[in-house]
A and B are shown apart, each in its own frame.
Chain A
Amino acid sequence: MHIMEGFLPVQHAIGWTLASAPFVACGLYSLKKRIRQNPEQRMLLGVATAFTFVLSALKLPSVTGSCSHPTGTGLGAILFGPAAMAPIGLVVLLFQALLLAHGGLTTLGANTFSMAIVGPFAAAGLYRLARRLKRSFALSIFIAASVADLMTYVTTSIQLAWAFPDPVGGFAGSFVKFAGIFAITQIPLAISEGLLTVVIFNALKRFNAKELHDMNVDRQAEVPA
């Protein structure tokens, strides 16, 4: 999902940066507040960041014959709320843009929007929805994390199709092409991400039941809306 450095026209680069900025600011504010109130959650925040670091470094082969990587943002979005993942995802993307020439500074806004905003919001929303529909804890996590992963790549396809519409097919034609590269490749990886997120939550539930309980993760959807 990393749009490469310089591969978005200037207006798009600026537009996506402006679109991402308020989410990052909002996320920073909510994280600061949370850590001030619950300093003991700092370690778990580190785990959410670390999970994104690991998963976005894992380039896995897919059935389309190309390689891509999961995003790992579902875990943090379910634990800390979707906004919190915006600054965390930004840190990971910045690391990759500066040190690995993977993604870039001019495309940082667009990449943040797909990986650190759309993905986490999809994850948090789907998790709540699945819990409200009385799905099991593990299934809810799986659906949230895997669909969030996929949505990130769909967003990247939309961003590229918008910037580079097909001369014949226009936006739609271009979207189909980019989605063919990103979204189809991502399906098995999204499943892997969902499974790995369930593994982590199983471990947290077993050894950190109190923290999860304090963070309302287990109950959050049982309260009727």
Chain B
Amino acid sequence: MKRHQNILLLLAVVLLALLPLWLIRAPAPDADGHPIEIFTGADDKARDLVGEINPDYKPWFKPLMEPASSEIASLLFALQAALGAGFIGYYLGVSVARERMRREQEQDKPAEKEARVH
């Protein structure tokens, strides 16, 4: 039952991520004929809004190191996710195996007792 619930929950997460891709269509290009990009980062939009509200604001510090390209950036993000997911997978794997061994041991114990009686 619980297992069933998790599969349904994961399915819901996938649907929530896919739905916007299907619902949102790129708007028509702006007056200059530049296409309007969709699914850009909310962080970038906030940065643009800062520029709109206060056009005189100049960022006073630059990142020490920037990924050489967007490809490198996605590599690092993938690495970040892979490290995290790897660890969680390892921990759950160990937990599942440990739980199974514990159950098997519990099942064996009564059998041992019986064997001793005979």
Known contacts A7-B47, A202-B6; is-contact A53 B39 (Cβ 8 Å): no
B67: A residues at CB distance < 8 A: 99-101
Q: Within the complex, which residue of A3, A55, A67, A207 is in contact with B41, where a contact is CB–CB below 8 Å?
A: A67
User: B59 at interface (Cβ–Cβ under 8 A)?
Assistant: yes
Q: Is the CB of A57 within 8 A of B59?
A: no
A2: B residues at CB distance < 8 A: 43
Q: Is the CB of A5 within 8 A of B81?
A: no
Size category of the binding interface on chain B: 35 or more
Q: Is the CB of A207 within 8 A of B99?
A: yes
User: A4 at interface (Cβ–Cβ under 8 A)?
Assistant: yes
Give the dominant DSSP class at A's interface: helix
Q: How far is the CB of A187 from chain B (nearest CB, A)?
A: 10
Size category of the binding interface on chain A: 35 or more
Q: Is the CB of B83 within 8 A of A61?
A: no
Q: Mark B3-42, 1 if CB is under 8 A from A, else 0.
A: 0011001101100110111011000000000000011111
A202: B residues at CB distance < 8 A: 2, 5-6, 9
Q: Which residue of B lies closest to A75 (CB)?
A: B88
Q: Is the CB of A174 within 8 A of B53?
A: yes
Q: Is the CB of A97 within 8 A of B88?
A: no
* Residue picked from B13, B91, B96, B98, most chain A C-beta under 10 Å: B13
Query: With the chains together, A89 CA to B29 CA distance in Å?
Result: 40
Q: How far is the CB of B79 from chain A (nearest CB, A)?
A: 9
A177: B residues at CB distance < 8 A: 49, 53
Q: Mark B46-59, 1 if CB is under 8 A from A, else 0.
A: 11011001100101
Q: Is the CB of B95 within 8 A of A208?
A: yes
Query: With the chains together, A66 CA to B49 CA distance in Å?
Result: 14
B66: A residues at CB distance < 8 A: 101
Q: Is the CB of A46 within 8 A of B87?
A: yes
Q: Is the CB of B62 within 8 A of A198?
A: no
Q: Within the complex, which residue of A47, A57, A181 is in contact with B91, where a contact is CB–CB below 8 Å?
A: A47
Q: Is the CB of A66 within 8 A of B9?
A: no
Q: Is the CB of B41 within 8 A of A203?
A: no
Known contacts A7-B47, A10-B60, A207-B92; is-contact A54 B9 (Cβ 8 Å): no
Query: With the chains together, A165 CA to B16 CA distance in Å?
Result: 33
Q: How far is the CB of A58 from chain B (nearest CB, A)?
A: 6
Name A111-130 residues within 8 Å CB distance of B: none
* Residue picked from A43, A105, A178, A207, most chain B C-beta under 10 Å: A207
Q: Is the CB of B39 within 8 A of A195?
A: no
A100: B residues at CB distance < 8 A: 67, 73, 76-77, 80
